Amino acid sequence: MRNFSEPTLREARRIIHDAQRIAVLTGSGMSSESGVPTFRDAQTGLWEKYSPEQLATRDAMANQPALVWSWMLHQARVMRSVTPHEGHTTLGRWQKHLIDTGGSLDIITQNIDDLHERADAEVLAHLHGTTFTFRCFECNAPSDYELEDATEEQLEARPELDQLVLEDPPNCRDCHGGYIRPDIVMFGEFLPQRAMDDALEAVRVADVALVVGTSNIVQPAASLPIVASAAGAKVIEINPSETPLSQDADVYINGTARTILPELYSQ
């Protein structure tokens, strides 16, 4: 069923048609149709006992290292096992086209997966880090830990995460005591300054900010569409559920990333 209206889509296409500089802000809804659940979708298994906000913290890692590490590893394995969808590949083609014609399409993502990159799109800013590089929890030294391909059994634990087989995190070779963790931003930690600076610069110069699959409540990422709008950009939002941004967006499209992005750009 098409639950978005044609006039809304036409209005978005009209705005996009003249845009040379587009900033695309993506959240976990961008990846959900590839098979990576958003946090708010994942209400089963482990989530009955712990919320992601409780697990992805420094305190939780210090107090329950095996649980937190095993959960993060599981997430990383799921992300590696899935493939980008048409929404991701559309952004890859669109970015190439705009660059070839003197414009830009800057992707700013809150996602810690690499689905944009695997769809041949360059990501300007990973605001919440990435789950595929690792460092020491204590001394921050980069780690050469490499994620192995998941076994069928490991992947089948999804989504009943209470089936997780707990593993202890490896130890750092530099300080010998610290646990290894992925390079993601845990709740309560600061965002990488460089990524945030790049994101702010991109939204300030954008003609259009395209906001896809984010609930627009996690700060400071949620402020980026507002900065874009204040600097003169038109804001187009794609999300099957309304968010605090929807009322203020120039165009709110009630639909999913996989369906709508190819409708907006079809070259």
CB of 177 to ligand NAD, least distance (A): 28
Q: Using CA atoms, how far apart are residues 199 and 127, in angstroms rounded to an integer? A: 8
178 binds, among Zn ion, ligand NAD, none (CB under 5 to 8 A by kind): Zn ion
Was 89 annotated as part of a binding site? no
Is 175 annotated as a binding-site member? Answer: yes
Could you say which of ligand NAD, Zn ion, none residue 70 binds, taking C-beta under 5 to 8 angstroms by partner kind?
none
Among 139, 217, 230, 231, the residue binding Zn ion under the rule CB under 5 A is 139
Closest of 213, 182, 170 to residue 24, by C-alpha: 213
CB nearer ligand NAD, residue 91 or residue 212: 212
Mapping DSSP onto H, E and C, the string for the chain reads CCCCCHHHHHHHHHHHHCCCEEEEEECCHHHHCCCCCCCCCCCCHHHHCCCHHHHCCHHHHHHCHHHHHHHHHHHHHHHHHCCCCHHHHHHHHHHHHHHHCCCEEEEEECCCCCHHHHCCCCEEEECCEEEEEEEECCCCCEECCCCCCCCHHHHHCCCCHHHCCCCCCCECCCCCCCEEEEEECCCCCCCCHHHHHHHHHHHHHCCEEEEECCCCCCCCHHHHHHHHHHCCCEEEEECCCCCCCCCCCCEEECCCHHHHHHHHCCC
By CB under 5 A, tell whether 86 contacts Zn ion.
Answer: no
Is residue 36 a contact point for ligand NAD (CB under 6 A)?
Answer: yes
Residue 176 annotated in active site: no
User: CB of 257: closest distance to ligand NAD in angstroms?
Assistant: 4
Provide the minimum distance between the beta carbon of 75 and Zn ion in the complex, in angstroms, as a whole number.
Answer: 22
Contact flag: residue 178 with Zn ion (CB under 5 A): yes
| Active-site hit among 74, 88, 126, 128 | 128
145 is in an annotated binding site: no
Interhelix angle for 86-100 vs 257-264, to 10°? 30
139 has binding-site annotation: yes
Binding partner of 84, given Zn ion, ligand NAD, none, CB within 5-8 angstroms per partner class: none
Residue 240 binds which one of Zn ion, ligand NAD, none, with CB within 5 to 8 A depending on kind? Answer: ligand NAD
* Closest CB 194 distance from ligand NAD, rounded Å: 17
Q: State the Rg of the chain over Cα.
A: 19
Binding residues, as ranges, are 136, 139, 172, 175
Positions that interact with ligand NAD (CB under 6 A): 27-29, 31-33, 36, 38-40, 110-113, 128, 212-215, 218, 238-241, 243, 256-257
Positions that interact with Zn ion (CB under 5 A): 136, 138-139, 141, 172, 174-175, 178
Name the residues annotated as catalytic.
128
Binding residues for Zn(2+), as ranges, are 136, 139, 172, 175
